[in-house]
């Protein structure tokens, strides 16, 4: 996998408004928010470009860590009870702009369905 902006954020070479960090996951505010709360949750390992690259045996705990981070962040930001959306875009037709697996946590307003 090539170098991405997320790799630089993980190494703290580029500033980000970090809201959560663990050994395996980093979460920060999106610079182009699509909702009042828009957080990007990324794994700190950089070899998973898209959802199709996930190996359940190898990455199962990492995915659990990402969902755990989402739940903690939603609670900390006061949107856990009202509801929030988790989105993983996979590939260009889905709108994935950075080739590094990431999850969007969206909330803070009523979200419409279908989304796109």
Which of the following is catalytic: 59, 100, 102, 104?
A: 102
59 carries an active-site annotation: no
What b/e readout covers 23-42, taking b as 16+ CB neighbours within 10 angstroms?
Answer: eebbbbebeeeebebbbbbb
Q: How far apart are CA 93 and CA 25, in angstroms?
A: 26
Q: Which SS3 state, helix, strand or coil, does residue 102 take?
A: coil
Please report how many Cα atoms fall inside a 13 Å half-sphere around the Cα of residue 30, on the Cβ side.
18
Residues catalogued as catalytic: 102
């Amino acid at each position: 996998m090539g170098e991405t902006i997320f790799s630089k954020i993980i190494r703290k070479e580029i500033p980000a408004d970090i809201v959560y960090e663990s050994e395996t996951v980093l979460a920060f505010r999106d610079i182009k928010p699509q909702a009042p709360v828009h957080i990007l949750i990324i794994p700190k390992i950089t070899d998973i470009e898209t959802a199709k690259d996930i190996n359940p045996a190898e990455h199962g705990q990492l995915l659990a860590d990402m969902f755990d981070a989402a739940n903690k962040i939603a609670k900390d930001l006061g949107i856990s009870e009202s509801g929030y959306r988790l989105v993983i875009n996979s590939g260009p037709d889905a709108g994935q702009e950075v080739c590094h697996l990431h999850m969007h946590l969206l909330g803070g307003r009523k979200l419409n369905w279908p989304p796109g």
